[in-house]
Amino acid sequence: MDRQSRFTVTGGAGFVGSHVAERLSGLGHPTTVVDNLSTGNLRNLESFRDRLTFIQGDLTDPAVCRRAVEEADVVFHLAALPSVPRSMADPWASHEHNVNATVQLLLACRDADVRRFVYSSSSSVYGDTPTLPKVESMELEPRSPYAAAKLAGEQYALAFARAGILEAVALRYFNVFGPRQDPRSAYAAVIPAFLTALIEDHPATVYGDGLQTRDFTYVDNVVDANVLAATAPADRVNGQVVNIGAGQRTSLRELVGVIEGITGRSLPVEELPARVGDVRDSLASLVRAQAGLGFVPSVPLEEGLRRTWAWIQAERETASPSRKVG
């Protein structure tokens, strides 16, 4: 990347967004982070805050969008109201923050002559179709308001690209995990929830029989994909949607076994009824990612779990210095 390129990361105080902002600013690029801190946390930025321009604001406000993208060459749009269960409880909030805010941001990017827009989408847009792996060209069957909202956002971004308004690429993430992912949220993803259950010595909750599979993707791989999406030639990525995953699927029961092997601890499981809106199986085809972006995941599941376990232990030590875990 041109070292003079300027970047904006929306949702940059969140889990994935903070990792993207850290990578970009660490490479010496002027980087602006915008976040309303509804799910993000300034603590995620504290080790590199001095390298950033931070804007606290909500992207449903056009003025915040304009300020956020001023002078930006590339905008990484990671801001979202996450969680399938949350969207089932409040569909309008999911639409407002995942669709309306995206359109406001795209309009601001158009007016600021932003070169490229990298949109963070979700594998949830595929729904529960039995076909594996999930290929970008297959029919989409979102089965939650969150999934529908993410699909609407990506289609707006790609429509702007196909209309020649700006360059855009949409990245469909598959079950991202890693340090800074909030294990305390009521909507915590399965890996931080499992690791927290382990460290607190209580059973992990599994919704369903535990045989459902996911393509767990370590966050550093997702950051790599974002950088590649920002720099790949336009004729290879503009107007395209691209899967970003590990390219392998793991059942929740298998995940428990891997965690037990890494930590040397037993993790009992409590099974509860399957949740409405959840999909049964997920696996990314990475053919387009490899061809268009040159993307190959570099951190496998076990190594990612080791790093995440170390982070959770360190976080617990920081929160409770007198309490030893190990």
Which CATH number goes with the domain that contains 30? 3.40.50.720
Question: CA 55 to CA 75: how far, in whole Å?
Answer: 14
Average pLDDT over residues 294-312: 97
pLDDT of residue 322: 42
pLDDT of residue 191: 95
Residue ranges making up the domain that contains 149: 7-173
pLDDT classification of 321: cutoffs 50, 70, 90: very low
Range in 42-51, 268-277, 290-299 the model is least confident about:
268-277
Sheet holding 74-77, edge to edge: 52-56, 31-35, 7-10, 74-77, 116-122, 167-173, 240-244
User: Number of structural domains, the chain?
Assistant: 1
- Residue numbers annotated as active site: 146
Question: CA 297 to CA 310: how far, in whole Å?
Answer: 21
51 occurs within a structural domain: yes
**Residue 121 pLDDT greater than 60, yes or no:** yes
Average pLDDT over residues 93-99: 97
Residue 229 near residue 242, CB atoms below 8 Å: yes
Question: CA 293 to CA 291: how far, in whole Å?
Answer: 6
pLDDT of residue 326: 33
pLDDT of residue 214: 95
Higher pLDDT, 319 or 179: 179
Average pLDDT over residues 262-283: 90
Q: Chain-wide mean pLDDT for the chain? A: 93
What are the residues facing 168 on neighbouring strands?
117
**Residue 323 pLDDT greater than 80, yes or no:** no
236 occurs within a structural domain: no
Q: Which residue in 151, 73, 157, 54 sits closest to 112, CA to CA?
A: 73
46 occurs within a structural domain: yes
Q: What percent of the chain has pLDDT over 70?
A: 95
Model pTM?
0.93
pLDDT of residue 187: 58
CA 26 to chain CA mean position, Å: 20
238 occurs within a structural domain: no
CA torsion, ordered 66, 76, 17, 100, to nearest 10 deg: 60
Helix (H, G, I), strand (E, B) or coil at 173: strand
Residue 17 near residue 40, CB atoms below 8 Å: yes
pLDDT classification of 274: cutoffs 50, 70, 90: confident
Number of CB atoms found within 10 A of residue 321's CB: 8
Average pLDDT over residues 158-187: 92
Number of CB atoms found within 10 A of residue 131's CB: 11
pLDDT of residue 134: 97
Average pLDDT over residues 270-283: 87
